Chain A
Amino acid sequence: QVQLVESGGGVVQPGRSLRLSCAGSGFTFSNYGMHWVRQAPGKGLEWVAVIWHDGSNKYYADSVKGRFTISRDNSKNTVYLQMNSLRGDDTAVYYCSPNFDFWGQGILVTVSS
C-alpha cells in the first residue's frame, strides 16, 4: 500500500527557515521524480519544485527560486524541502507526490509573527 507521510510543518516567523520531509513507502521510491505542491488556505494548487529520480535535475517555481531547495535521500525513501527566508505568502498546505501518481495528506506551514 502506497504511503506518503509529510512532516516538519508548523508555525514559523517571517524570515526564518523550515525543512519539510516526505517519507514514501509501498512503491519503488528511487524510480520516481518527486514533486512538492502547495495550497494556500482557500486557494488553488501551486506547483513548487521537482527533483529527478536520481537527484540529477531540479526545477523550482519562480516564487520560491533562490529560497527553497529540494533534495532527496533514496536510501531513506525521503524527499526534503528546505525553505529559507519564509514569507507570509508561503503559508500553505504542502503536498509531496511521486510524478503526481499519489499524494500525501499534506502538511501545514504557517508563516506568522
Chain B
Amino acid sequence: DVVMTQSPLSLPVTLGQPASISCRSSQSLVYSDGNTYLNWFQQRPGQSPRRLIYKVSNRDSGVPDRFSGSGSGTDFTLKINRVEAEDAGVYYCMQGTHWPNTFGQGTKLEIK
C-alpha cells in the first residue's frame, strides 16, 4: 500500500501568519491517465471532513483562495496564506491514484 507521510503533525500558527503542511507518498501518484490524484481535506473539531483541494492544486467550490496546493510525483504541499481562526482543525492528505486509497496521519493546526 502507498504510505502517505505528513509533516509536521502539529502546527501552531499565529493568526494572520502563513502555514505549510508537507505530504510525501511512498510511490509516485501520477496515474496512467496523466493525472495526479492527491487530495487535501480539512476536519474541524466535531465536524465531518471536507475536501479543500483535489488533483494537487484544484480548489473545491467555496474554499477560500488563501488555501493552495502544489507538488508533483511524491512530494506535495498545502499552504495557507494568512491563517484565520476558522482554519483550526486537522488536515489530511489522501492519495486516490492507487488502490487502496490511503490517508496521511493528519496535521493538527492550532491557532496560537
- The interface size of chain A toward B, counting residues with CB under 8 Å, comes to 18
Contact stretch, chosen from B18-26, B28-36, B71-79, B101-109: B101-109
Chain B contact residues, CB within 8 Å of chain A: 1, 39, 41, 43, 48-51, 54, 60, 90, 92, 94, 96, 99-106
Pair A47/B103 contact, Cβ less than 8 Å: yes
A32 in the interface (beta carbon within 8 A):
no
Q: Which residue on A lies nearest to B103, using beta carbons?
A: A45
Shortest beta-carbon distance, B37 to chain A, in Å? 10
Residues on A facing B (Cβ under 8 Å)? 35, 37, 44-47, 50, 59-62, 95, 100-101, 103-106
Contacts of B90 in A (CB 8 A): 44
Q: A33's closest neighbor in chain B, by CB?
A: B96
